[in-house]
Amino acid sequence: MSAPVRRRTVLAEATARLRDAGVASPEHDAAELLAHVLGTTRGRLVLVDEVAPAAVEQYAALVARRAGREPLQHLTGSAWFRHVELAVGPGVFVPRPETELLAGWAVERLAGLVAAGETPVVVDLCTGSGAIAKALADEVPQARVHAVELDEAAHGWAERNLAGTGVVLCQGDLATAFDDLAGSVDVVTCNPPYVPLDAWESVAPEARDHDPHLALFSGDDGLDAMRVLERRAAVLLRPGGVVGAEHADVQGESAPAVFAATGRWTEVRDHRDLAGRARFLTARLAR
């Protein structure tokens, strides 16, 4: 019978394997997977001296899958987004930390309306796992949050994540969603697909091979969904309402231009992420 293995040895071997496989954050992912196997947290791994043989075997299998570039979140079954935990897996786009900035912008806008005595209405288009919608409902419980997702599999994940949150979720196209709210929405958020079709090879294997292509690719220039969003947000928002949408870092000029070109919007601005990359645009519907 095999003997237990020291935690440091297990982690070091796993980290080396993930690094050799090209995983961007090998130390972090190795620790997260071990914590998952042991039913603890990454921060509490220091309390573990040795790992039992059965756990080592289970861990090795997960590390091998991660080395094959299967998303970490698919292996653990969950992802954190701001202050909420989401169930994720095959069939749904794994929420990225960068998108938390867009959600934070929306939280600030909604909180301002609540402070003014209003009950704000927000619509999250292309909700995917429901990450933005769940975060908004969690941080601004006074808001009336609505969300829509077209893909059947992703909608199933959103249903699971938004159960009990009060979010009104529907399955449908962002181009036609929530006709009943036309002209009454305060804030629209969206993390649309924005990868150009010819940029296939530049997409990380974790996303390219495991995220739904409907959530990634959007025409020759990556802005097809952004154009649909511009038109739909103009229908949904009240005069003076605001929209925020994520885009690729190379679309810091072209994505805002979609809104600026129509003459329907004021205060069209782009926002950078913590690494200084263009990340999301915001605009206000002209009164």
Highest mean pLDDT, choosing among 75-84, 181-190, 243-252: 181-190
- Nearest in space to 206 (alpha carbons), one of 96, 103, 280, 127: 96
pLDDT value, residue 71: 85
User: Which parts are annotated binding residues?
Assistant: 149, 191-194
Confidence band (pLDDT; 50, 70, 90) for 70? confident
Q: What is the mean pLDDT of residues 237-244?
A: 98
Contact 150, 169 (CB under 8 A): no
Tokens of 190: 């969206």
State residue 207's pLDDT score: 52
Cross-strand pairs, 280: 246, 271
Question: What is the distance between the alpha carbons of residues 192 and 181, in angstroms, rounded to a whole number?
Answer: 20
Q: Which helix (H) or strand (E) holds 17?
A: helix 7-20
Pairwise pLDDT comparison (222 vs 29), residue with the higher score: 29
Percent of the chain whose predicted confidence (pLDDT) is above 90: 73
- Binding residues for S-adenosyl-L-methionine, by number, are 149, 191
User: Residues of CATH 3.40.50.150 domain(s) within the chain?
Assistant: 79-285
Per-residue pLDDT reduced to its tens digit, 258-286: 999 999 999 999 999 989 999 999 999 99
Alpha-carbon span 166 to 179, nearest angstrom: 19
Assess whether pLDDT exceeds 90 at residue 176. yes
Q: Which two tokens stand for residue 132?
A: 């933005």
Is the pLDDT at 161 greater than 80, yes or no?
yes
Kindly state the average pLDDT of the residues 236-252.
93
Confidence of residue 200 (pLDDT cuts 50, 70, 90): very low
* pLDDT score, position 73: 87
Q: Give the pLDDT mean for 87-101.
A: 90
CATH 3.40.50.150 fits 79-285, yes or no: yes
> CATH 1.10.8.10 in the chain, residues?
5-68
Amino acid at 273: D
Q: Does domain 5-68 have CATH number 2.30.110.10?
A: no
pLDDT greater at residue 35 or residue 205: 35
Binding-site residue ranges for substrate: 191-194
